[in-house]
């Protein structure tokens, strides 16, 4: 069974840092591209960051570029999001999501349960 379990969320002051983790199981983690998606309270979904299966290709949303760093450890079946210089507008539930490809069609077929990050003084 595919499982993605996020951890590391919590309350942090503006300007602070937090590192999120996503533990993967039930599939060959090193074969899949991964993403972070967030959802502010009562709002819609926002794509945050992407990492290729090897970790060699990385992209960020403009809203987090220069502040967040995505990484992965395929030996540990884990995905990470290092979040620095946090702002109130970064308050959200953060999901890790597996990206699958069917032909040329991509989709996020498995999601973790999410971890809440609250940025407040």
Partner 1 sequence: DIQLTQSPSFLSASVGDRVTITCRASQGISSYLAWYQQKPGKAPKLLIYAASTLQSGVPSRFSGSGSGTEFTLTISSLQPEDFATYYCQQLNSYPRFTFGPGTKVDIK
Residue 102 backbone dihedrals phi, psi, to 5 degrees: -125, 105
Please, are residues 86 and 18 in contact by the beta-carbon 8 Å criterion?
yes
> Which of residues 104 and 121 has its CB atom nearest to partner 1 in the complex?
104
Q: Choose, by CB under 8 A, the member of 17, 54, 113, 120 that binds partner 1.
A: 113
The number of residues in the chain equals 121
> Which of residues 86 and 93 has its CB atom nearest to partner 1 in the complex?
93
Q: Choose, by CB under 8 A, the member of 64, 81, 83, 112 that binds partner 1.
A: 112
Question: Do β-strands 10-12 and 115-119 pair in parallel, antiparallel, or remain unpaired?
Answer: parallel
Residue 4 backbone dihedrals phi, psi, to 5 degrees: -130, 125
* Binding footprint of partner 1, residue count (CB under 8 A): 23
Q: Write each residue from 11 to 50 as x if it is in contact with partner 1 (CB under 8 A), else as -, in one continuous string.
A: ----------------------x-x-x------xxxx--x
- Rounded to a whole number of angstroms, the minimum distance from the CB of residue 111 to partner 1 is 4
Provide the 3-class DSSP secondary structure of residue 90: helix
Please, are residues 74 and 27 in contact by the beta-carbon 8 Å criterion?
no
The residue ranges that bind partner 1 (CB under 8 A) are 33, 35, 37, 44-47, 50, 59, 61, 95, 102-103, 105-114
């Amino acid at each position: 069974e595919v499982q993605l379990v996020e951890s590391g969320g919590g309350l942090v002051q503006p300007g602070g840092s937090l590192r999120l983790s996503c533990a993967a199981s039930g599939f060959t983690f090193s074969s899949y591209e991964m993403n972070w998606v967030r959802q502010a309270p009562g709002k819609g979904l926002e794509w945050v960051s992407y990492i290729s299966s090897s970790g060699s290709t990385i992209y960020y949303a403009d809203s987090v570029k220069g502040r967040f760093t995505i990484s992965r450890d395929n030996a540990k079946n884990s995905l990470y999001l290092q979040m620095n210089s946090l702002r109130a507008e970064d308050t959200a539930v953060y999901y890790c999501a597996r990206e699958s490809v069917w032909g040329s069609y991509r989709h996020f077929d498995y999601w973790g349960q999410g971890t809440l990050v609250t940025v407040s003084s």
